[in-house]
Amino acid sequence: MEYIITFKNTNLAIKAEQCLLEQKLQIGVLPLPSQISAGCGICLRVKQNEINAALAALADREIAGAGVYSRVTENGRYLYEELSIMFTNK
């Protein structure tokens, strides 16, 4: 399983990417999947074992997100489920 973090605007997505790379987390930048309607058009992919560290780093830097989604592969397709994890500015 992986996680997708969406953002309200591209500026926040870029700041988040820089923040997480500084933390040496393995992330990927992706176009927002068509199954997800919340966000600015780009999102970050985070590995399962790094999601807690990623969300903590973003909260510490006061970078707000739009949502967090789990991403699993089933029958060769990605399936997304919105999680109740939300993070906002302090």
Give the torsion through C-alpha atoms of 31, 84, 81, 70, to 10 deg.
70
Residue 3 has pLDDT above 90, yes or no: yes
Distance CA 49, CA 47 (A): 6
Residue 35 has pLDDT above 60, yes or no: yes
Query: Which contiguous run of DSSP H or E holds residue 5?
Result: strand 2-6
Whole-prediction pTM: 0.89
CATH 3.30.70 given to domain 2-82: yes
Q: Cα angle at 60 between 36 and 70, to 5 degrees?
A: 25
